[in-house]
Structure 1
Amino acid sequence: MERRSLLRAAVIGGASAALGGTLWRGAAHAAPAQPGPGPYGAPGSPDANGIRLPSGFTSRVIARSGQRVGSTSYTWHNAPDGGACYADGTGWIYVSNSEINPSGGASAVKFSSAGAITGAYRVLSGTRQNCAGGRTPWNTWLSCEEVDRGYVYETDPWGVNAAVRRDAMGRFKHEAAAADPVRKVIYLTEDETNGRFYRFVPAAWGTLSSGTLQVMVAGSATSGSFTWADVPDPDGSPTATRSQVSGSKSFNGGEGCHYADNTVWFTTKGDNRVWQLNLLNNTYELAYDDSLVSGTAPLTGVDNITGASSGDLFVAEDGGTMEICVITPDDIVAPFLRVDGQSGSEITGPAFSPDGTRLYFSSQRGTSGSSSGGITYEVKGPFRS
């Protein structure tokens, strides 16, 4: 176990925290991360799009709110938010939510094998404030409503099949979702100051029409063990889902969620933390906490999160310094890119193309600071695998 991990364990909770870190899962992500040199070097001067990138990386604008996407006839939505990529033959698709209330919904952009835009279209309409979500192993997009007693909608990234509202996944202020194909569950975050962390256990894996909503039960510490308890009334009325189970753990503003290798990570914006759940032994700890950083914290405004095949986590900022930061498996956190001149915005929807060479994301309000000023970008370069 690395000395840094032992020191951090002592800070965050004594003996119980000392059981965390590398003892839980080998050398990977011995939390919480500390600043250091990133694997790609520091972001350089702003490019023509106002994005500071490491050497070897380039950016392009994919879409702008209120304008046609490429040479298509489709007008891109306002306030682009959570997103995901899907393989499409030799090309791929990027799906993006719209955090507008009312209207909301989600749209998609299709790319050829060379990365050219070949189409754009709507995949979900008539919903409210679709913030984040998550992709499923059966290639659908779960679009989540960030409103009181909001729903999850299962959508078709190809725009062929009609979206379906998944009532069994509960009614609360949904944020993000992440599928776990090993335990055959979907993890869900809740964007409330006293939100909870949930999982949905489908009656049959591959369909979300019925199942059981459960909530994480744990103590008040920042590390320890946890269990799951059924939520008696997923409809959330008259009692909110977060208030139904005694002992369920409160989280301050649940945001992004990402699953990989028997681990699920999720972020809480109210306290600038990244949480890590080890699903092999049902323990949790902090992967990042800006208040535990030595010196100036490189990552603030913690929000959306995604992962690369390398094991690196990419965390987007809502505000902060408008950066996407990388957290490496060896506990280094560092800026990967910065968006200049857009301090009234937030970075949303980070997602990698299927081959891992391109990263998509949006600036939700762009240079104008308005929902109608959203910009969706692509960054291409030598991402490590």
Structure 2
Amino acid sequence: MPCQIFTLMCRGTTICHVATSGLCIRRQTVVTEIEGDIDSIPLHSFEFVNFKDLRSRCGNNSLLTDVLGHVVDVREIEGVKKRSRLLEICNASIRDLRGKVVGVTLYRDIASGFFEDMLEKGQGASVVAVFTGMAVDSSSSVCSTTSSEYYLDLEIPEVQEFRANLLIQQGNPVPEKTPAQKLAESWRTIEQLKSLDPEEYDEDTMFLCRVSLIDIDCSNGWCYLGCDTCQKSMYGAPRKYKCARCGPIKRPVQWYKLKAKVEDATGTMDLIIFCEVAEELVGVSAKELVDNIEEDDEWYALPEEIEDLIGSTHTFQVFDKYVNGSFAVRSIMDDASVPPPAGAASDCKEKADPEGSQKPSKRLRGDDDSIN
């Protein structure tokens, strides 16, 4: 973060030299000017956070974040009402060298200042921006705080290195791939999914895999009561249900949460299948199956409609929401319209159906302790 350098003294004793964007100076604090080679002290100091690491800072107001990126979009100033006050807001987007885009929302004076400076730079300018003291809204967006500052094309080693690599990329542009090409390159076997390097993808990256369902664990049930808007699970409150994100909910909804074990010719793994995707797979809503439950132990036994899925084979588009190797199904693909694997993934589809796989006989699910 941008800083000024001070020597802090408490009751005549030097504590330390502090570099910070803000100081709390008390009555016992003595501020003295540093003597000597002042020119060797850097005027700026930052702790840049990689875009893919923003998720770990979501909602943590105790951490302010510095980000660096190429400005790819700046929108017009808008007026937004907040607590009966009209605030100026400017939305922009910056991109890192890996192509990930993060949204930047600026408020008040910093919004108008940034917009005017970008206008002065011109539409054709290639600007590298530094935003400091930002709060992280989500894994792909940050917003300004009262401590925030911005710097355009700052002469520091990090920006110079970024710009040098950016110029190399711009001088050797990679042809834009079509959606079909991207889809074809996303094929993975189970073995490949389990050996992915988290540094090479993020929570928005989708992969195709063709797998067979071999078990569904219902030891903790197969559905949950959730918010009708954001699908998060409810918690009970006196005389009403409440969602941690949306607040009180009048009509909570029964949503599927299927903890499936799947296999292909390369191995087995766990997949979570949620909500509407699971409903598409099962063919009926979770509410319809819940309405047929008569005894408590039926919550922990698979309904026939779900058990009939055991042994079936599907092409799923999966993602790793927390980039920790726990994959969930984003969508069920139509095999007739899915492109064949491209390049190194060319054998993914052929390896999907294990030789000699058989549909297991019906039983109560959830007795396989190997599913975590």
Indicate the TM-score class for this superposition, using the shorter chain for normalisation: under 0.3
Whose strand proportion is higher, 1 or 2?
1
TM-score (norm 2): 0.22
- Larger proportion of helix: 2
Instruction: Answer 1 or 2: higher relative contact order, Cα 8 Å, separation at least 6.
Output: 1
Q: Which has the larger radius of gyration?
A: 2
Structure-1-length-normalised TM-score: 0.21
